[in-house]
A and B are shown apart, each in its own frame.
Chain A
Amino acid sequence: MVTHHPDMRLLTEFASGSLPLAQSAAISVHLHFCSHCKRQVNALQDMGAEMFDTLQPADVDDSLLDNVLAHLDDEAPLTYASSAAIDESPVLVQRLMTGDYKDLKWSRINKALQIARLRTGDPEHEFALYHIKAGGSIPCHSHKGTELTLVLEGSFSDEEGVYHQGDFLMRDAEDVHTPTASRTADCICIGVLDAPIRFKPWNYRLLNPFLQLQAS
């Protein structure tokens, strides 16, 4: 049961199309798990549609219709969206990975934590998978911008709560926290960062290059 959701601003910007790509991807994965937010997004889209419907129509040259009519028989480009839902993991995540979790290029941060970046093409945000070993923690850290987290598998907890599959969190720059995976299972999360993450203890400073924002 999903209990942590994106806030209203995120859902509105998602539905209206202004949310950056990597953040939209994280919201999209949340919707895969959360029918509550799915309905909210549907309602928000309905609202966009009503506004669309009452726009002042613009002049469209007749040649445009002729042009489109002439192309109606062109073969439609192949689309893959929502067709490959055989596997359990969200389609979008499958699209971003080639193969399985184990085939990704994981960077080892410490005994408990590995990170694999996935390329979304978003120039301002990093989209990465975090694999936290059962019982392990992500070193205490803070960050400059916003950090979005979504639990894909397993669960983790921090100073403020416990988060299970599908749960969504947004942390601001001031928040300092130490996420810890449950003792019984490894945890895989999506993390979307818009600024470099900074670890607190001095001995992790050397590791920071791994966690610098990588505009992919």
Chain B
Amino acid sequence: MSELPPEDDPDMQAQQNVQPNIKVNAEGKRDDEWSQCLQVIANKRDRAAFARLFKHFAPLVKAFAMSGSPLAASHADELVQEVMLKVWQKADGYNPRKAAASTWIYTIARNCRTDMYRRLQKFDTPLAAEDIWVEQEEEEPFVAVQQRRNAARVREMLTQLPQEQAQILAKVYMEGKSHSEVAEDLELPLGTVKSRVRLAMQKLQIMTDQR
């Protein structure tokens, strides 16, 4: 985790002046729109709002499903339905102070994709993805705010990563591959994959203090 930007950081000040406490990222209010949409879904059980959210996120969930393992990809539509239904069912558990709407939906998609993959492989397990990725409570509001600022920065920095690093991150996250699977895929030594991930993380200022 990085330090908060110094107070004389003009960008940060400008953001704070415009809309205190609300995440404003490179793409303006996009995240906010979906956060509000999710809250309307939770509070009013509003189907029209849900349909709007569906139209935006279902194509992303489907793209995510299709970039995964061929086994899961062949069930992409099923995954879309499962994820979007979960979004509706769990909307009241969404906390806009903790995460952007897209982050929340991404974690649901990741969980469903992992569960589906294990189901298709006939894993007999008492654990669901939700048991493993317990929604992480963040007690300290200060940290939550910092985290959302980090997310905004990550978005901007991602576009500036060298291709060789961005490609590996895409394989890790969107294709859901382990580091050694990525190494095999790209015919690179495992050490190279690890160090490129590390370099990317450093640029994104994530985990700079982890071994």
Contact = CB atoms under 8 A, between A and B. Distances in A.
Interface of A: 5, 7-9, 11-13, 16-19, 21, 24-25, 28, 31-32, 38-61, 64-65, 67-69, 71-72, 74, 76, 79-82, 91-92, 95-96, 119-123
12 contacts: A16-B172, A17-B110, A28-B132, A43-B206, A43-B207, A45-B106, A50-B155, A64-B81, A65-B55, A79-B128, A91-B131, A121-B118
Contacts of B170: 51
A58 B127 contact: no
B47 interface: yes
B131 A55 contact: no
Contacts of A52: 60, 64, 102, 105-106, 109, 173-174
Interface in B38-84: 47, 50-51, 54-55, 58-60, 62-64, 66-67, 76-77, 80-81, 84
Shortest 8 CB-CB contacts between residues of A and residues of B:
A121-B125, A57-B59, A49-B103, A49-B106, A58-B62, A76-B89, A81-B130, A46-B151
B154 interface: yes
The residue in A58, A69, A123 that gathers the most chain B C-beta atoms within 10 A of its C-beta is: A58
Contacts of B107: 45, 49
A112 B174 CA distance: 46
A79 B210 contact: no
A31 B129 CA distance: 15
A5 B207 CA distance: 12
Interface in B179-211: 179, 181, 194, 197-198, 201, 204, 206-207, 210-211
B59 A65 contact: no
Interface stretch (B3-11, B14-22, B133-141): B133-141
Given A11-B207, A40-B207, A49 B132 contact: no
A71 to B, nearest CB: 6
A43 B47 contact: no
B64 A55 contact: yes
A86 to B, nearest CB: 15
Given A25-B127, A40-B210, A49 B100 contact: yes
A50 B23 CA distance: 14
B136 A47 contact: no
B126 A119 contact: yes
B88 interface: yes
Provide the main secondary structure of the chain B interface.
helix
Given A9-B197, A72-B47, A121-B124, A81 B131 contact: yes
A92 B76 contact: no
Contacts of A55: 60, 63-64, 67, 174
Contacts of B179: 9, 12-13
B110 A16 contact: yes
B123 A81 contact: no
Contact of B113 (A17, A38, A96): A17
B207 A44 contact: yes
B158 A39 contact: no
A120 B84 CA distance: 27
A196 to B, nearest CB: 21
Nearest to B193: A9
Contacts of A18: 172, 176-178, 181
A45 B64 CA distance: 14
Given A17-B110, A41-B136, A47-B158, 8 more contacts: A9-B197, A16-B110, A16-B173, A21-B127, A40-B210, A46-B151, A64-B58, A68-B85
